[in-house]
Structures are given as structure tokens and as C-alpha cells.
Amino acid sequence: MTNRSAEPARRTGDRGRYGRLSRSRVLKTAFDLVDREGLSALSMRKVAAELDVEAMSLYRYANGKDALLDGLVEVLYEHIEQELAHCAPPPATDWQAGLQRIVRATYQVALSHPQMAPLLATRILAVPMARRPQAVLRTHEQVLTLLEQSGLDRQSAVHAYRAVTAWTLGFILTDLQAMVDDPTAPEIGFRLGLQHMSAQETPALRTAAERLAEPGGTLALETGLAALLASYSPTDR
Amino acid sequence: MTNRSAEPARRTGDRGRYGRLSRSRVLKTAFDLVDREGLSALSMRKVAAELDVEAMSLYRYANGKDALLDGLVEVLYEHIEQELAHCAPPPATDWQAGLQRIVRATYQVALSHPQMAPLLATRILAVPMARRPQAVLRTHEQVLTLLEQSGLDRQSAVHAYRAVTAWTLGFILTDLQAMVDDPTAPEIGFRLGLQHMSAQETPALRTAAERLAEPGGTLALETGLAALLASYSPTDR
DNA sequence: CATCGTAGGCTTACGGCGTAAGGTCCATCA
DNA sequence: TGATGGACCTTACGCCGTAAGCCTACGATG
């Protein structure tokens, strides 16, 4: 509610007519809020408050909370595209390297914004493909195009596409899974809460927990990707 | 609130002292509600209403909504265990078949209860491993044990375990992803909402959409699983 | 400069939600 | 029979999403 009449509402590209809101400002605020406090802390009212605005004002730029969540996914994929754009030149001939590049970028952006990970899983289940944000569709289009370049027939390319998508999503979720039970504990076993796990019923899992707590890493991601791709392109073996 | 004093509160194993509630009854009611109306329709108050009880009464059996959600995951994995128990005998020597069996059961239970799928993704991110329901841990223990039987060293077994988990979860989510935009449309293209997808920007995806709308199926699930497993066990190639 | 249509933001209000705190009743058993 | 305590209920609070409608400052127009 701060009166900023000192600024005569110059219509920069990033503010609305009154020099206050804009879609990008709303999404960025929500994005930062989730990064900072987690998805469960996201509410229309809090986002609005951070913008010195009432909740209902957001509706012009994100028509309801679901639309806001989809906006967050959009931002996430825009980050992926940025990562892809400024980071590496695409080696036009090597389709497999092209796929690796996209999958790796997706993984890294997810790691940078772990609080958003649930969105990747839940929104894909909630919003039909045709309604997904453009940035999402563009990225998926690239994946599919690369696979079709690889010489696979259309049917196999679609199967491979599903495999790549499933692997990437599953790997990210598995990698980000909650392992730490008590962050304040000094010893790793207690930090993981192993004293709550029965050594009778789940001995192997208990023993493996320490190793499972470490992130999988880019290497494991790409190993699995390569294995899946190889199984779809008979030329490779 | 119906007075059922006709029944003198016989303490069957499935009811509490007053012959009304019990953990299993609460979870079953919530589970059915989600199956019927979706996760977003789940609320403490509605579950309570279906049991002719007040919301706060549930807290003795599920201490808050998060605990209720974890209870649903528990029920889901109990279904998986039932599927495993009554369906096929485990071929003790063939560890790969053993893994297939578990993964397939997980997939089939997920398909039977598609509304629960988001829980698989979100709860794994929210509750530390050591605090997961016993049924979940038992199933994971089986997977890990089978992999250790396969001759992999401990380190590789853990990597393979992560891969199996990631693949299964990712495959399920990808398989259950929303594709249908307008269920009432007679023609498939409109049913998928393809008119909303730009033929300029995402032509390949648009074309592939029809194929993507079909479920992946058990075969694709097992193909990918085999490919991943092969990449972790050098003896296989 | 005066006017006007409207985009952009605000107000109010409603019903539903999770849950903290404490009360009540009744099956049990001494 | 009377005490005990577990099972369920009542009340209340503060959040939430959002429908409906209002108000006003702005850009365009003359």
C-alpha cells in the first residue's frame, strides 16, 4: 500500500498500467516464495502481500491458484531453456548428446529448486498435455525431435520419448527424496533416524540408508539414460 | 450422529471401544473417498462425515492430515503386498523375475488407483525414509535384497536400487499423465485438445499426441527395467 | 484542457479448511 | 458401586480460495 506516486507509472515492460503488477512479477514473487519457504507456504494472499497488493489483484495475471502453480512450472522450464541457451552449443549431429544435454539441464534446475519438484509430478497429472505451458511443450518437442532424428521409426520414437520422460522425472524425484529425519543430530545414523527402522524387518535398507542419502549425481542419470536409449535403438549394439 | 445403541458395542477387532472407529476403518474410508472423488476432495471433515463422526475424532487414528495421507500410502503398499502374495509364487533363484514381479504389482496397483499417484511422488519427498510406513519399507527391502542376491556388490546394488525405484515411479507418473482435454468430444484430436497446440512450434509433439495418449503397458515397463538392470550387472553382456 | 471508457487494483463476503484446547460420556474393573 | 480413563464431541480460531462488484487513475480522444 506504499504510495509510490513519485514514480509517474512509466510503463516499463515489466509493470502494468499502474506500474505495480505484471504476470512476470507475480510469477517471480511466487517462485521466490516457494524457493524460500516451500510449496505449502504458497498462498494467493502471501504472494499478494509481498507485492503490496490484495489477493484478488493477482487474478488478472493468474486466474486462480492452479493457474499460479502452472505458472511456476512455466518459470521452471524457462530456467531450463535458459540453462540450455547460454551453456553449451548443440552438436547438431549427435542426437544422444542433445538428449543428455536437455536431461542434464532439467536435473540441474530441479536440484536448484528442490521445493518445486512436487509440481513436476503433480501438474503433469492434473493438466492435459495440450494445455501445458509453452516452455514445457517446447522442451518436450525438442526431446521428441531429437529421437526422431536418431533414425527410430515414429512408434519407437514415441516409446523412447516416454522412457526418457519417465526416467528423468523418476530420477529427480528419487534423488530429492527425503532422507534426513533430524538435521541437528551429530551422528549420521541418528540424522537419518535409523533408530526408528527395525533391524529385523528391514536390515538391508537400514544398512544401505547411508549410501542412499547421497545424491545420485549426473553420472548415474546419464548412465541410466544411455541404457534406456540403447534398448530402443537396435543399431546401437 | 445416528445413535446405534442397539449394538452394545461389541469390541470386534475392527472397531474402537464404542464400536465406531478404528484406524483401518478411517483409512479405508479416506482411501475410498479419494478413489471416488480425487485427492483434492479429501478433507478431515468429509472423511469424518462419512463415518458419522466429527473431524476431531479422527485424530486419535491419524494425527493430522499429513498422517492421513501417509496412511493412504500405507494402504496402497498393503495392496501391493496382497497382489504379490496371492498372485504368483516367487521363483527363488531368478532375482530378475522377482524384481519384475514387484515392479509389475506396483504398476498395476497404481493403475487401479490413479487418484493416489500424486501421493507416491509427494510423500516420498515429504517424509524421511526412516518414517515411512512399514509396508513401504518392506517392499523396498525386498527390492534391495533381490539386487544384493544378484551378485552385485553393495555399492552397485544401491545404484541399481535407485534406478529401479526411479524408473518405476517415473513410469507410473508418465503413464498416468493427463492427456484428455475434453472427454465429451467425439473426435480424438479434439478430445486431446490438439487445436490448442501450435502446429508451428510443436509439430512433432502434436503428431505424437495420439500415440502418447495410450498407456505404456506392462511390456514397456519391463523392457525399460531390463535395460536398466543390464547396465548395472556387467555379467549380463 | 475536458471528457470518457476501461484496465487495474480494491473491498467485502462466504464457505470450507486444519487443528488447538478442553469437555463429556460410558465401558471397564476394582 | 464408584472411580478411572479412553473414545468421541464441542467450540473456536485463523487461515485459505475465490465470487461479485466497486472505484479510480490512466491513455486516448476531441
DSSP string computed for B192-228? TTGGGS-TTT-HHHHHHHHHHTS--HHHHHHHHHHHH
| Integer Cα distance of B152 and A101 in angstroms | 30
Q: Please tell me whether residue B97 adopts helix, strand or coil conformation.
A: helix
Chain A partners within 8 Å of B152 (Cβ): none
| Integer Cα distance of B173 and A122 in angstroms | 9
Return the amino acid letter for A168.
T
Does A236 contact chain B (CB < 8 Å)? no
What residues of chain A score a pLDDT lower than 50? 1-12, 236-237
Q: Which nucleotide is nearest to B19 if distance is taken from CA to C1'? A: D7
Chain A partners within 8 Å of B181 (Cβ): 128, 130-131
* Residue A226 to residue B231, Cβ atoms within 8 A: yes
The size of the A-B interface in CB pairs under 8 A is: 216
Q: For residue A155, give the nearest of B126, B194, B211 by CB distance.
A: B211
Whether the CB-CB separation of B60 and B21 falls below 8 Å is answered with: yes
Write the CA distances from A44 to A114, A131, B66, B92, integer angstroms. 21, 22, 22, 54
Whether the CB-CB separation of A173 and B124 falls below 8 Å is answered with: yes
Chosen for mutation from B40, B77, B122, B125 (greatest number of chain A CBs closer than 10 Å) is B125
Q: For residue B212, give the nearest of A141, A158, A167 by CB distance.
A: A158
Chain A partners within 8 Å of B177 (Cβ): 124-125, 129
What residues of chain B score a pLDDT lower than 70? 1-19, 234-237
Domain locations in chain B?
13-63, 66-175+222-236
For domain B66-175+222-236, the CATH class is mainly alpha
| Integer Cα distance of A101 and B113 in angstroms | 35
Chain B partners within 8 Å of A197 (Cβ): 129-130, 137
Chain A partners within 8 Å of B127 (Cβ): 178
Instruction: Give residue B15's pLDDT.
Output: 65
Chain A partners within 8 Å of B125 (Cβ): 117-118, 173, 176-178
Helices (H) and strands (E) in chain A, counts: 10, 0
Whether the CB-CB separation of A114 and B177 falls below 8 Å is answered with: no
CA of A5 to C1' of C3 (A): 23
DSSP string, B136-190: HHHHHHHHHHHHHHTT--HHHHHHHHHHHHHHHHHHHHHHT----S-TT-SSHHH
Give the tens place of pLDDT for each residue, A167-213: 999 999 999 999 999 999 999 999 999 999 999 999 999 999 999 99
Does A6 contact chain B (CB < 8 Å)? no
- CA closest to C1' of C25 belongs to B18
Percentage above 90 pLDDT, chain A: 85
Please state which architecture CATH assigns to domain A90-236: Orthogonal Bundle (1.10)
How is domain B13-63 classified at the CATH fold level? Arc Repressor Mutant, subunit A (1.10.10)
The cell for A21 is 503488477
Instruction: Give residue A4's pLDDT.
Output: 31
Give the tens place of pLDDT for each residue, B52-79: 999 999 999 999 999 999 999 999 999 9
Nucleotides of C under 7 A from a protein CB: 7-12, 16-22, 26-28
* Residue A181 to residue B128, Cβ atoms within 8 A: yes
* Residue A178 to residue B148, Cβ atoms within 8 A: no
Whether the CB-CB separation of B99 and B147 falls below 8 Å is answered with: yes
Residue with the three cell numbers 514473487: A29
CA of B3 to C1' of D17 (A): 36
Instruction: Give residue A135's pLDDT.
Output: 98
Q: Chain B 167-206, CB below 8 Å of chain A: which residues?
A: 167-171, 173-181, 192-197, 201-205
| Summary mean pLDDT of chain A | 91
Query: Which of the 8 DSSP states describes residue B133?
Result: -
Instruction: Enumerate residues 6+ apart whose C-beta is below 8 A from B117.
Output: A125, B110, B172, B173, B176
Helices (H) and strands (E) in chain B, counts: 10, 0
Instruction: Give residue A5's pLDDT.
Output: 29
Q: Which nucleotide is nearest to B54 if distance is taken from CA to C1'? A: D9
Chosen for mutation from B148, B177, B194 (greatest number of chain A CBs closer than 10 Å) is B177
* Residue A118 to residue B117, Cβ atoms within 8 A: no
Does A66 contact chain B (CB < 8 Å)? no
| Integer Cα distance of B137 and A179 in angstroms | 13
Query: Which of the 8 DSSP states describes residue B129?
Result: G
| Integer Cα distance of B179 and B214 in angstroms | 9
Nearest CA in chain A to B230: A227
Does B9 contact chain A (CB < 8 Å)? no
* Residue A204 to residue B141, Cβ atoms within 8 A: yes
Nearest CA in chain A to B161: A212
